Amino acid sequence: MLRITLVNTKGGCGKTTIATSLASYFASTGFRTTLMDYDPQGSSRRWLALRDDDLPAIKSIDAVRQKSGLTRSWQIYAGFDTEVLVVDTPAGISGSRMIELLRQTDVVLVPVMQSVIDMQATADFIEQLMRVGKVSSQKKRMGLIANRIRPEARSYEMLEQFLEGHNLPVVARIHDSQNYVNAMEQGQGIHEYHSESIAKDHEQWSPLIKWLNAGSPKAIPIQKPKAVSPLSLGSAVSY
Ligand SMILES: Nc1ncnc2c1ncn2[C@@H]1O[C@H](COP(=O)(O)OP(=O)(O)OP(=O)(O)O)[C@@H](O)[C@H]1O
Ligand SMILES: [Mg+2]
């Protein structure tokens, strides 16, 4: 199983947007996929509820509300049939929850937005992550994702300096695009959503998929944008 966690204590940096699009990417390329939600607000679970039955199935796990009669480890067990587990986390996560998260993941993805406040908060978070990483004493693959990039804005140069200043690989550069907002509203990932301007959004995911591939037990295909209408999308995967 490949386990990927989206995490940053800074709110609103794109954890849910990237987690849901990643889950849909894996599901639509034939992986049995589970999306686990650590956020009490349940944004990922709400996105799943919006998802059309015709789209590839994604299993949902609520890691927040403790089910009676279940141990914690059973509650967050993705099941033997899951090939890819994507974990969405809330802002402000820390302490024992953070340690639990790091123990049960192979890949940590940290989205960061192009604003001074976001970059400062993320720098603090990366420091914290390294400390907790040592506590759990496990080597994880960690990558930064620059999200909602606006190259025309003044803060872009600062973002590039920030990205260069850290010892973590920058595994994707995702631009600010209304397509993400629209796709989320329909329970779709960015690769399932169709609009005239979608090709460049899709291209920006290739470096991330290639990077994930290097640590994946099974090859992850690079999906080409499909020139089909939303109505003829995907076949359902059930398991
Ligand atoms: N690349 C993008 N382009 C445009 N809008 C985006 C992009 N990524 C995220 N957004 C929007 O930014 C807002 C915050 O994104 P999201 O909910 O994914 O962040 P989050 O880190 O999960 O937030 P929280 O910490 O509250 O859980 C949402 O309205 C989302 O639609
Ligand atoms: Mg979220």
For residue 8, the ligand 1 atom closest to its alpha carbon is 21
- The neighbour count for residue 97, using CB atoms within 10 Å, is 15
Q: Over the chain, what is the mean pLDDT? A: 89
Note the ligand closest to the C-alpha atom of 11.
1
Name 225's bridge partners. Answer: none
Contact assessment for residue 188 and residue 24, using Cβ atoms and an 8 Å cutoff: yes
For range 53-75, the mean pLDDT:
89
Name 111's bridge partners. Answer: 145
How sure is the predictor about 78, in pLDDT bands with cuts at 50, 70 and 90? confident
Q: How far apart are CA 43 and CA 20, in angstroms?
A: 10
Q: What is the pTM of this model?
A: 0.92
For range 155-181, the mean pLDDT:
95
**Does the beta carbon of 92 sit less than 6 angstroms from any atom of ligand 1?**
no
Indicate if the alpha-carbon torsion angle 165, 166, 171, 177 is positive or negative.
negative
Q: How far is the CA of 137 from the centre of ligand 1 (A)?
A: 31
Q: How far apart are CA 122 and CA 219, in angstroms?
A: 31
Q: How far is the CA of 114 from the centre of ligand 2 (A)?
A: 17
How sure is the predictor about 140, in pLDDT bands with cuts at 50, 70 and 90? confident
**Domains (ranges, CATH) in the chain?**
2-111+177-220 (3.40.50.300)
How sure is the predictor about 231, in pLDDT bands with cuts at 50, 70 and 90? very low
Q: How far apart are CA 111 and CA 89, in angstroms?
A: 12
Q: How far is the CA of 57 from the centre of ligand 1 (A)?
A: 23
Question: Per-residue pLDDT tens for 197-219?
Answer: 999 999 999 999 999 999 888 99
Contact assessment for residue 109 and residue 88, using Cβ atoms and an 8 Å cutoff: no
For residue 19, the ligand 1 atom closest to its alpha carbon is 18
For range 154-174, the mean pLDDT:
94
Question: Per-residue pLDDT tens for 41-50?
Answer: 999 999 999 9
**Does the beta carbon of 181 sit less than 6 angstroms from any atom of ligand 1?**
yes
Contact assessment for residue 236 and residue 192, using Cβ atoms and an 8 Å cutoff: no
Q: Which residues are CB-contacts of 152 (< 8 A; sequence separation ≥ 6)?
A: none
Instruction: For ligand 1, pick from 17, 22, 122 the residue to mutate: most ligand atoms within 8 Å of CB.
Output: 17
pLDDT higher at 128 or 182: 182
Amino acid at 95: G
Q: How far is the CA of 80 from the centre of ligand 1 (A)?
A: 31
**Does the beta carbon of 39 sit less than 6 angstroms from any atom of ligand 1?**
yes
Question: Per-residue pLDDT tens for 13-39?
Answer: 999 999 999 999 999 999 999 999 999
Question: Per-residue pLDDT tens for 88-103?
Answer: 999 998 888 888 888 8
| For the chain, percent of residues with pLDDT exceeding 90 | 71
For residue 39, the ligand 1 atom closest to its alpha carbon is 27
